[in-house]
Amino acid sequence: MEATPAPTPPGPTPPADDDTRTLTVIMHTAFFVLLGASLTRFLLRHPGEPHTPWVLALSLSLAVLYVLGPTLGAHLTARRLAWLTAVVAAWAVLVTLAPSFAWCAVPLFYTGLRTLPPRAAIILVTALTALAVAAQLQLAGWADPNVLLAPPAVAAIATAVFVVMQRQARRQRALIDDLIRTRRELAATERREGTLAERERLAREIHDTLAQGLSSQRMLLQAADRLWDTDRDTARSHVRTAAAIAESDLAEARRFVHDLAPADLAGGGGLLTALRAVAERASTDGLDVRVHAEGTPVQPLPALVESALLRIAQGALANVREHAGAATATLTLTCLDDQIVLDVADDGRGFDVAASARRPAGSVRGHGLPAIRARLRQLGGTLTIESAPGEGTVLSAAIPLEPPA
């Protein structure tokens, strides 16, 4: 049984992607550019003002505070909240002393939106916008409609764009997580299906080779045991035949474990020669198995078709020997232009095909017919069974062939 892999522990939060880092660098650069431009404008427009030292000190303090921000991380913590409060307070005092510093509010919008939850961020943006409008109105000296309406419009656009981008990023992360989870589930399903397919393959191979061989060996050894005291030559013959079957089954076991072609096909004699070898091994004192061919064989047949037909013949003969009570069985290989057909006919007791088909799948003993159907289904073939009580059985397996190019 396969060991279930331990769940992967959650890793650290991945760093911001390249786009986020680029936007952050641009906003930080814009802040320092606006801060420097505002300070330069103040010094040029108001030389010798009494509060100039305060403006210089607050500008330097705001720059230092802003530089410390990236070291505190992007997530909301008590330290980052205290830092944001200090930055906003320093900027608010600067705007009160020099209204030209109001333009620094735009990068602060981005910082607040990145740091705070959406509602708190919108409240902060509203407060910063109101202070910037008041400062600009004070600087203009009259109720300029442009000053009154432009900053709120810019703030609304910036906030809306940022919020929408955040929501889209969250949706994308959710979609990516779903995709990764789906891929993992699909991979697990494929592994399970592959395991089941391999188990089914092994079950078919074991039924058509080892199980059939073991059944033949048991029958031969039982017959040898019954004849040992009265007819030792025949008994020894049965034992030698059982040993030959065991040797053949050992070769088959080694080959299907390595997913190779059946041993009877390994010699290169083709399907008909392999069927004759199977028939010879399946023939006993009570069962005569013959092989007959019709039509011109397609050479070479696809390896999968040859292997499937040989296994079907082995499985069908196992059913004949175990259930039919037949005296003779015939393997007929018919080669047509568009398909190849293998008929396995016996003169045994037969059975009611319709009644057998109505039985639940779990009530049918063995793997013979289900294995044959599975092999044919993989190759697009069909299975037909004709039988009636006391009239023998004819099993017909047909596999289509691709027309020659």
* Cα 105 → chain centroid: 49
The per-residue pLDDT string of the chain (405 residues; one tens digit each, 9 = 90 and over) reads 334 444 443 333 344 466 677 877 888 888 888 888 888 888 888 777 788 888 888 889 888 888 887 777 667 788 888 888 888 888 888 888 888 788 788 788 888 888 888 788 888 888 888 888 887 777 766 677 776 777 788 778 878 877 787 788 888 888 888 888 888 888 888 778 776 776 776 676 676 667 777 877 888 888 888 888 888 888 888 888 888 878 877 777 766 665 556 767 776 678 888 888 888 888 877 889 999 988 876 667 788 888 889 888 888 888 888 888 888 999 999 988 888 999 999 998 888 887 776 665 544 444 567 878 888 888 889 999 998 888 889 999 999 987 544
Q: What is the pLDDT of residue 8?
A: 40
Contact 108, 31 (CB under 8 A): yes
pTM of the predicted model as reported, rounded to 2 decimal places: 0.45
Whole-angstrom Cα distance, residue 89 to residue 91?
A: 5
Return d(Cα 46, Cα 100) in angstroms, integer. Answer: 11
Is residue 211 packed enough to be buried (19+ CB in 10 Å), middle (13-18) or exposed (0-12)?
buried
pLDDT of the residue at 141: 66
pLDDT score for 215:
77
Burial (CB count <10 Å: 0-12, 13-18, 19+), residue 379: middle
Query: Which residue type occupies 36?
Result: G
Tokens of 134: 């008041």
pLDDT score, position 74: 66
Q: Kindly give, in sequence order, each residue whose CB lies less than 8 Å from that of residue 348, ignoring residues fewer than 6 positions away.
A: 320, 323, 324, 325, 326, 392, 393
Instruction: Find how far residue 120's CA is from the centre of its chain.
Output: 42
Among candidates 276, 271, 332, which has minimal Cα distance to 301? 271
Which pLDDT belongs to residue 13? 38
Q: Please give the domain boundaries of the chain with CATH numbers for all domains.
A: 18-143 (no CATH), 283-405 (3.30.565.10)
